[in-house]
Amino acid sequence: MRKVSLLRSGAFRFAILIAAIFAIGTGVLLAQVERSVNRYATEVASDSVAAEIAVLRGEDRAAGRTQLIQSITLREQAVREHQIRYLLLDSQAHRLAGSIPAAEARVGSYDLVLPAIDRGNESDAATVSLMTLGVRLDDGAILVVGSDTSELRDLRQTLGLSTMEFGIGISLLALIGGLVVGTIFLRRLDRVNHAVGRIMQGSLSERLPAIGMSAEFDELSTNLNRMLDRIESLMAGLRQVSTDIAHDLRTPLTRLRQRLEDMKEGLGGSEPVIEEQIETAIAQTDSILAIFRALLRISLLEAGAGKQRFAEVDLSEMLDRVFHAYLPVAEDAHQVLSADIEPAVKVRGDAELLTQAVTNLIENALVHTPTGSHICLSVGRRAGGVALTVADDGPGIPAEERAKVLRRFYRLDVSRHSPGAGLGLAIVSAIAALHEAQISLADNCPGLRVEITFRNLANLV
Amino acid sequence: MKLLLLEDDPDTREHVSKILRAAGHVIDACANGPDAIFLGTTNSYAVLILDRMVPGVDGLSVLKALRSAGNLTPAIFLTAMDNVDDRVEGLETGADDYLVKPFAGSELLARVAALGRRPPIADTATILLVADLEVDLLKRTVTRAGRRIDLQQQEYKLLEYLMRHAGEIVTRTMLLENVWSFHFDPGTNLIESHMSRLRAKVDRGFDRDLIHTVRNAGYRLDAES
């Protein structure tokens, strides 16, 4: 595994990303706060200006112009928290009162920046920002009132600055936090990567450690481990197949070779090659090919092939069809075949494969039980599932051998000379596994009872 | 019959051609997909015999191309791929039959004969008649020389299949696939057991046998022996 540098590591990128998100978040927050403060302050200022105008206009009407001029002058001199400045021009544009320059005598609202009036007070700013509102009085005179918004400007500056500081602080913290978390995470991933490396180098039984951090990550490593289990068992199956082919096909191939050699000897000799010999050779070849086919079929089944074609299968109908197909066969073999079929028992599966499984079980029962034996097929619903059974009252299989007969090429000593290659039950077992069904071999007292039980609810119809 | 054979392995191509020629067929053999498409579009054949795995354009695509050009010639796939998915895929492409390698020559001949038969018995036929044996498909009754014969369901299906292919050889595998839907070799003599019962009912007690065993091949239902 390549060691990645910190700057190029996922942890660093993760940290940068987190920090960027925090920075953007702070920026958005700042903008939003600024807008709200601004809107609020502007509202307050314009309200106070409008109120001031209303009061002065009232004074003008009630007490006359002189009183208004006096009032304005008094107000200009008053020191308050918020500075308010005035301007009163008569209809000939002569200044009557106030400190706002006459040039700014306009009707409507405006924002102005004026030089500060030095009163020796707290304000050291050279300018003041004013929000002004101008109105025309009844006789054509113009009254302008301006409210100082400098403090608002200061407030916005302070707010902006502290938000920036705060944002940078948060982003830095996020960066550090992200780096720490990322490094821990990366270190754990590194352990997983090392495990993967060891698996790739051939230690197939190695499994990934838990990633930790969260349940999702642990689920990921659990799933990966399950995948590894599956791969390992598939590979074991593959190895098994190659070994089987190597060992178990050698016998029939040797036999075939001997026959061909015998025939060659017979050519031109006293014993002529007869058609029967050739036919036997062809039959032997066919049985070798049949073994090949069965082995391939088993390995395909074990790899899960055919699952995508699963559809509803009426087991009752299928078993009835197979029962009637084998009735005359059993009769000819002087065996008794009976069926106990519960109607309309259905599962999800592959009809053809299930037919083959049942057929194999019946064939086995027919071949391995003596004349006069009774073979019973049944299908029915059980608590929590569906069971398909083929039972006979023949010699049965000793308890310690039952698990082994499901393996490929395994044959009981007593049946070594009966036809077959020992693949029938292995195919049944593979078909059952494909359908997530359990296969069990039990004592039928006497005889053998093979039961395939479908318990997976997803496969029950 | 004039047949098209697509097979890339020279030995198998020779072997199959020889078997078919010996049975009196005329064979155009080719080794790759494009040739097969060319021959298939420029000539008229009774049956197309296509290997699935050939270089260039594979057999499946050859059939797809011919079918999309409106060519409805019956086709049979020869293939070493024998899992169920492959067979289903082949039949969905428009193949009429599917034969897994290796196969007996008699098996191929029987299937090609069944596919190339002209004209096919219409599916709308309601009565099948061979000599004095009559199957009424609507009433599902069987009579021979006017005498009613009672058959079990599977015996009836077996007889119906034989009647539909009267005069032709039907192999054990064809019967397993078409009468019992068994696409695998069950191993025991399932067919023989059913056939002996059918024969006992259809032929026993009558002046001549209609169901004949063809050695090394299968069975044939025919008025002539």
Contacts of A117 (CB under 8 A, 6+ apart): A85, A99
pLDDT of residue B25: 94
The number of beta carbons lying within 10 Å of the beta carbon of residue A161 is: 11
The residue assigned the tokens 């519960």 is A342
Question: Do residues B212 and B135 both lie within one domain?
Answer: yes
Q: What are the residues whose beta carbons fall under 8 Å from the beta carbon of A308, sequence distance 6 or more? A: none
What is the pLDDT at residue A1? 43
Total domain count for chain B? Answer: 2
DSSP state at residue A309: G
Task: Look at residue A176 in the predicted model and tell me its pLDDT.
Answer: 87
Shared-domain flag, residues B99 and B139: no
What is the distance, to the nearest Å, from the Cα of residue A419 to the centroid of all Cα atoms in its chain? 51
- Report for A124-128, A186-190, B18-22: range of highest mean pLDDT: B18-22
pLDDT value of position A343: 93
B89 CA to chain A: closest CA distance, Å?
A: 11
- B101 with B135, same domain: the answer is no
- Compute the count of residue pairs across chains A and B with CB atoms less than 8 Å apart: 62
pLDDT of residue A7: 65
Q: Considering B81, B116, B151, which residue would you say is the last residue of a domain?
A: B116
Domain ranges of chain A: 215-302, 307-459
Higher local confidence (pLDDT), B171 or A205? B171
* Cβ–Cβ < 8 Å for A295, A281: no
Q: Where is average pLDDT lowest: A68-82, A139-153, A247-261?
A: A68-82
HSE-CB of A399 using CA atoms within 13 angstroms: 2
Q: Give the Cα separation of A88 and A142 in Å (integer).
A: 6
What the block records as the tokens of A86 is 């005035």
Task: Check whether A158 has a pLDDT greater than 80.
Answer: yes
Mind listing the pLDDT tens digit for each residue in A100-118? 887 777 888 888 787 766 5
Which of A289, A300, A324 is opposite residue B83, by nearest beta carbon?
A300
DSSP string, B18-41: HHHHHTT-EEEEESSHHHHHHHHH
Report the CATH fold assignment for A215-302: Helix Hairpins (1.10.287)
Rounded CA separation B78/B5 (Å): 10
Residue type, A282: I
Residue A339: strand, helix, or coil:
strand
Among residues B88, B116, B144, which one ends one of the domains?
B116
> Is residue B121 in a domain?
no
Helix (H, G, I), strand (E, B) or coil at A33: helix
* Mean predicted lDDT score pLDDT of chain A: 82
* Residues A248-259, mean pLDDT to the nearest whole number: 83
Chain A positions contacting chain B at CB under 8 Å are: 279, 286, 289-290, 293, 296-297, 300, 305-306, 309, 321, 324-326, 328-329, 331-332, 350, 352-353, 355-356, 359, 363, 366-367, 419-420
**Contact predicate A427/A409, CB 8 Å:** no
Last residue of a domain, one of B97, B116, B135: B116
Q: Do A328 and B197 touch (CB under 8 A)?
A: yes
Question: Does residue B26 lie within any of the structural domains?
Answer: yes
Nearest to B193 among A305, A309, A328 (CB): A328
Across the interface, whether the CB atoms of B83 and A305 are under 8 A apart is answered yes
Taking the CA atoms of A14, A20, A24 and A30 in sequence, report the sign of the dihedral they define: positive
In this structure, the answer to whether residues B44 and B72 fall within a common structural domain is yes
Judge whether A215-302 and A307-459 match in fold.
no
- A306 vs A207: which has the higher pLDDT: A207
pLDDT of res. A82: 60
Say what the pLDDT of residue A258 is.
86
Q: Does B185 touch chain A (CB under 8 A)?
A: yes
Residue A362 has pLDDT above 90, yes or no: yes
- Is pLDDT at B221 greater than 60 in this prediction? yes
The per-residue pLDDT of chain B, averaged, comes to 89
At B110, the pLDDT band (50, 70, 90 cuts) reads very high
Verify that B151 and B53 share a domain, yes or no: no
| Closest approach of A331 to chain B, Cα-based (Å) | 9
Question: Average pLDDT of A42-52?
Answer: 85
Amino acid at A284: Q
Whichever domain contains B175, its CATH number is 1.10.10.10
Q: What is the pLDDT of residue A12?
A: 78
Which H or E element spans position B198?
A: helix B190-202
Q: Which residues contact A436 (CB under 8 A, 6 or more apart)?
A: A454, A455, A456, A459
B142 and B73, same structural domain? no
* Spatial separation of the C-alpha atoms in residues A335 and A8, rounded to whole Å: 77
Greatest mean pLDDT among A142-146, A317-321, B94-98 lies in A317-321
Q: Are residues B135 and B203 in the same domain?
A: yes
Q: Which two tokens stand for residue A307?
A: 């699952």
Rounded to 10 degrees, what is the CA torsion of B199, A322, B189, A411? -170
B157 touches chain A (CB under 8 A): no
Give me the architecture of the A307-459 domain, per CATH. 2-Layer Sandwich (3.30)
| B206: exposed, middle or buried (Cβ count in 10 Å: 0-12, 13-18, 19+) | middle
Highest mean pLDDT among A61-65, A170-174, B35-39, B88-92: B35-39
**Do A309 and B102 count as a contact with CB atoms less than 8 A apart?**
no
CA of B192 vs chain A CAs: smallest distance (Å): 8
**Residue B50: which CATH number?**
3.40.50.2300
Separation in Å, CA A141 to CA A106, A205, A369: 11, 99, 127
Query: What domain range includes position B209?
Result: 127-221
All residues at 6 or more sequence positions from A264 whose CB lies less than 8 Å from its CB, including other chains: none
Out of B85, B154, B183, closest to residue A305 by CB = B85
Interior/surface letters B112-146, b for 16+ CB within 10 angstroms, e for the rest: bbbbbbeeeeeeeeeebebeebbbeeeeeebebee
| B chain contacts of residue A311, beta-carbon cutoff 8 Å | none
User: Does B171 score more than 90 pLDDT?
Assistant: yes
Q: Which residues from chain A sit within 8 angstroms of residue B216, using beta carbons?
A: 279
Q: A290 to chain B: which residues are within 8 Å by CB?
A: 185
Taking residue A376's Cβ as centre, other Cβ atoms within 10 Å add up to 18
Which sign, positive or negative, has the C-alpha torsion A432, A433, A436, A438? Answer: positive
Between B153, B181, B196, which is nearest A324 by CB? B153
Residue A195 has pLDDT above 90, yes or no: no
Q: Which among A279, A289, A355 has CB closest to B182? A: A355
A128 burial (CB, 10 Å; 0-12 / 13-18 / 19+) is buried
Q: What is the pLDDT of residue A115?
A: 75
Min Cα distance A332 → chain B (Å) is 7
Say if residue B43 is in the same domain as residue B83. Answer: yes
pLDDT digits (tens, 9 = 90+) for B123-169: 677 889 998 999 999 999 999 998 999 999 999 999 999 999 998 99
Same domain assignment for residues B12 and B82: yes
